[in-house]
């Protein structure tokens, strides 16, 4: 078993501080506590279709457990709390020759997936009015750092995050991340640009930003992210919802990133502008979407190691369509079967095509496309109520790279312990 417990000396301090709370405050701390166990059964089988593929198949069957213990806050103007998160991944099957699918970590001296891996993290929290400070294990979902939860266990970070909603319609965020723990690892690492040399890494990712609701249907966002001495990134976003009649609406989601090198630029140059948007027309149980995305500059869109997903419209299961100079478009369709009297059943299919991918001087441009289809169902009643089942089918093709077909079967359930 691989285990990790970040910054243990810090956790001893948190525990000591909580032990000094008055008994009445501790009672409130415990009375508002909750515990949930997230269960995920994950099966994946990938078939490689390109000529001379390094292996014919990759896949695994595994079980994930995420235990979330959340305390209340002590009484008084400054509330104190402590959360705990435990993550465990267990291999059920991963045959030889098809194990390298990016879900399970390999052992330190083996090219085979470990039987299980786990880690435990604590998060100290302070609350004043509508402002919350968290220090410890974090799972941020912000434009400049959006944690990955597409496989067995979610990606986590160690750091500090301050979130405030003191003013109506305005949400402020600021923080610093120190370590990244990928979806396929229990150990924590310094952060670097995915796809580049991990020797050029940093233990300081700074972020700050705000989202403001200009009207009930229009919001604007600005965020800044800086991986010290590697890259910096500015983000602007607009989100608008336009009602067009009974059961009919248009949602517009526009995003722009400007990324360049920071400080000593120890990982080399970074030159990328990323303009993307998604437009979704909802008509009753139907939703029709069009996505547009364009990369400008000499480099791919920079993201953190550990498969940290970019916050872009054309993010798919296998590819992100953020390679140098790439232009891509998406067509998407969703249907909610509640419109036919089958609540809990949903279908989604989407297709993205990318072209004009710069591969370097003297080399022809690349192109690629990907199709994803989901069929999902949440059981509505009976002893299995709230169990969520999903089948995902993936097809990816490229001119000069990987070709693959993939199927995933995912079962999710959250058990409330108290």
Q: Is 98 left (phi over 0), alpha (psi -120 to 50) or beta?
A: alpha
| pTM of the model as a whole | 0.90
Find all residues with CB under 8 Å of 291, minimum gap 6, and list them.
Answer: 276, 277, 278, 279, 313, 314, 328, 329, 330, 331, 332, 352
Question: Mapping DSSP to helix (H, G, I), strand (E, B) and coil, where does residue 236 land?
Answer: strand
Per-residue model confidence (pLDDT) at position 6? 44
Per-residue model confidence (pLDDT) at position 102? 75
For tokens 């879900």, the residue is 103
Report the sign of the C-alpha dihedral through residues 405, 197, 270, 232, in that order. Answer: positive
Residue 5 has pLDDT above 60, yes or no: no
If residue 23 lies in a helix (H) or strand (E), which one and from where to where? Answer: helix 23-31
Q: Which residue, 178, 142, 173, is CA-closest to 157?
A: 178
Confidence bin at 103 (pLDDT 50/70/90): confident
**For residues 334 and 357, is the Cβ–Cβ distance under 8 A?**
no
Phi then psi for 414, rounded to 5 degrees? Answer: -110, 120
Alpha-carbon span 103 to 95, nearest angstrom: 13
Phi then psi for 75, rounded to 5 degrees? Answer: -70, 160
Per-domain boundaries in the chain: 1-128
Half-sphere exposure of 26 (CA within 13 A, CB side): 9
In angstroms, how far is CA 404 from the centroid of its own chain? Answer: 23
Per-residue model confidence (pLDDT) at position 397? 97
Question: Which of 4-13, 190-199, 390-399 shows the lowest mean pLDDT across its residues?
Answer: 4-13
Task: Give the tens place of pLDDT for each residue, 210-261.
Answer: 999 999 999 999 999 999 999 999 999 999 999 999 999 999 999 999 999 9
Confidence bin at 114 (pLDDT 50/70/90): confident
Alpha-carbon span 16 to 124, nearest angstrom: 12
Alpha-carbon span 99 to 56, nearest angstrom: 11
Residue 2 has pLDDT above 60, yes or no: no
Find all residues with CB under 8 Å of 221, minimum gap 6, and list them.
Answer: 143, 209, 210, 211, 212, 235, 236, 237, 238, 239
């Amino acid at each position: 078993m691989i285990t990790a417990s970040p910054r243990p000396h810090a956790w001893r301090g948190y525990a000591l501080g909580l032990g000094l709370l008055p008994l009445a405050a501790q009672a409130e701390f415990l009375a508002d506590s909750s515990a949930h166990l997230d269960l995920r059964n994950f099966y994946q089988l990938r078939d490689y279709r390109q000529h001379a593929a390094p292996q014919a198949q990759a896949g695994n069957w595994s079980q994930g457990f995420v235990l979330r213990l959340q305390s209340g806050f002590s009484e008084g103007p400054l509330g104190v709390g402590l959360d705990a998160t435990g993550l465990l991944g267990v291999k059920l099957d991963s045959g030889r020759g098809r194990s390298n699918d990016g879900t399970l970590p390999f052992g330190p001296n083996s090219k085979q997936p470990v039987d299980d891996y786990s880690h435990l993290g604590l998060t100290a929290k302070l609350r004043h009015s509508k402002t919350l400070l968290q220090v410890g294990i974090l799972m941020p979902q912000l434009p400049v750092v959006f944690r990955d939860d597409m496989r067995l266990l979610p990606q986590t970070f160690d750091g500090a995050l301050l979130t405030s909603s003191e003013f109506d319609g305005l949400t402020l965020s600021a923080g610093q991340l120190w370590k990244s723990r990928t979806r396929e690892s229990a150990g924590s690492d310094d952060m670097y640009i995915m796809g580049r040399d991990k020797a050029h890494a940093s233990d300081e990712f700074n972020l700050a930003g705000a989202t403001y609701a200009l009207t009930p249907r229009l919001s604007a966002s600005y965020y800044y992210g800086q991986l010290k001495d590697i890259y910096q990134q500015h983000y602007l976003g607009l989100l608008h919802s336009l009602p067009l009649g009974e059961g009919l609406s248009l949602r517009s989601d526009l995003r722009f990133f400007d990324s360049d090198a920071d400080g000593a630029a120890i990982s080399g140059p970074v030159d990328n502008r990323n303009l993307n948007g998604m437009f979704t027309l909802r008509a009753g149980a139907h939703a029709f979407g069009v996505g547009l995305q364009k990369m400008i500059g000499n480099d791919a869109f920079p993201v953190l190691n550990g498969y940290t997903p970019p916050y872009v419209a054309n993010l798919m299961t296998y590819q992100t369509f953020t390679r140098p100079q790439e232009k891509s478009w998406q067509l998407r369709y969703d249907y909610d079967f509640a419109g036919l009297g089958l609540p809990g059943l949903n279908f989604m299919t989407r297709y993205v095509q990318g072209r004009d991918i710069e591969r370097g001087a003297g080399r022809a441009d690349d192109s690629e496309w990907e199709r994803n289809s989901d069929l999902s169902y949440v059981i509505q009643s009976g002893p299995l109520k709230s169990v969520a089942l999903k089948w995902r089918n993936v097809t990816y093709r490229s001119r000069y790279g990987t070709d693959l077909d993939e199927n995933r079967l995912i079962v999710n359930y959250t058990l409330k312990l108290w």
